[in-house]
Amino acid sequence: MEEPAAHNGSAAGAATGTPARPPATPEGMALAYGSLVLMALLPIFFGALRSVSCAKSKNSSEMPETITSRDAARFPIVASCTLLGLYLFFKIFSQEYINLLLSMYFFVLGILALSHTISPMMNRFFPANFPNKQYQLLFTQGSGESKEEIVNYEFDTKDLVCLALSSVVGVWYLLRKHWIANNLFGLAFSLNGVELLHLNNVSTGCILLGGLFIYDVFWVFGTNVMVTVAKSFEAPIKLVFPQDLLEKGLDADNFAMLGLGDIVIPGIFIALLLRFDISLKKNTHTYFYTSFVAYIFGLGLTIFIMHIFKHAQPALLYLVPACIGFPLLVALAKGEVTEMFSYEESSTPKEAPGASKEEPTEVSKKEK
């Protein structure tokens, strides 16, 4: 976890106050930390549910991106190179122009992600007689039998309405950089990440989480690169909540922070365990709920350790052992370790907890 002025896309950041600001009150800290934990849990839970429908989708625009063991092994290296590259960019070039470019990039991505996120909820508010027309965005390469689809995206008038609403939030963020607009984009990115990024098996998940465990610890404790980038980087790659909200209201500026990497990386592993639960066809979701509780435990431990030692803590240092260890202990107790590690993503899930039989069908028609 980081001081208020610092943030990174992987380590969680939480604030105890800087010399320039009065110390946060216990009530303010409790509200901020509690809100961050809740905001982290929402995209993991609902993203995991939507990942079940996403895995069954037949639409090419809705197919998940599958992470293999090779991808997982290379990911910490790619992430390290990206982080070091950003560090050098901020050292060499003007921070103002780089952040302007990043703002425009995340402005477009944020609108698309938020539109995709709110579509299922918005559908319930449209009247039955709403004139809904279907559209298709198709981009191909080549001709005849060698023609290959590059982009094949289906959408309708309702999706365009959601896109317009998301654009309002995008303009708000671009002009004001308000923390609420930041959080709306951050939640959308997190939910989409958990929904659309799929691990192909549990072994791949262990490789990915283990590699990023080392990555997080090294770049937080070993160098000042991550903290420097975090201080310079202006983009909705974090969730924030003010610790002085009770004193200053919506104009509060003493933020506790949580990087999206600390949500999405454990989240895609938890979503995999949900799909594994469903593949067992036992009408229980033991591993999903176990890993979900493990995530709460790991995040709570991160906050506790940060306050004890008054030092930035890499959240994955605590989240990774918890999210892997708790389900593994349950598998050992139930004698299902072999089934867990032999499960492949090709297994077809049937039903998710808390989702009716109609919900997967609705979501799989159109990613909302």
Tell me the per-residue pLDDT of 35-58, one tens digit each, with 9 for 90 and over: 999 999 999 999 999 999 887 765
- pLDDT value of position 354: 53
Which one has a higher pLDDT value, 157 or 230? 157
- pLDDT value of position 5: 34
Q: Does residue 216 carry a catalytic annotation?
A: yes
- CA–CA distance, 55 with 348 (Å, rounded to integer): 8
- pLDDT value of position 346: 61
Of 256, 188, 250, nearest in space to 42 by CA = 188
Per the listing, tokens 């906050």 go with 303
Q: Half-sphere exposure of residue 234, counting CA atoms within 13 Å on the CB side?
A: 17
Local structure of 198: helix, strand or coil = strand
How confident is the model over 292-333, as pLDDT tens digits?
A: 999 999 999 999 998 888 777 789 999 999 999 999 999 999
Which one has a higher pLDDT value, 273 or 14? 273
Catalytic site residue from 159, 244, 262, 277: 262
Question: Cβ distance 179 to 255 under 8 Å?
Answer: yes
Q: pLDDT grade, residue 2 (50/70/90)?
A: very low
- Look at strands 65-67 and 197-199 and give their pairing: parallel
Q: Give 13's DSSP letter.
A: B
- pLDDT value of position 57: 67
**Which tokens sit at 108?**
């477009």
Q: Does residue 244 carry a catalytic annotation?
A: no
Catalytic site residue from 71, 156, 159, 216: 216
Rounded to an integer, what is the distance from CA 269 to the centroid of its chain? Answer: 12
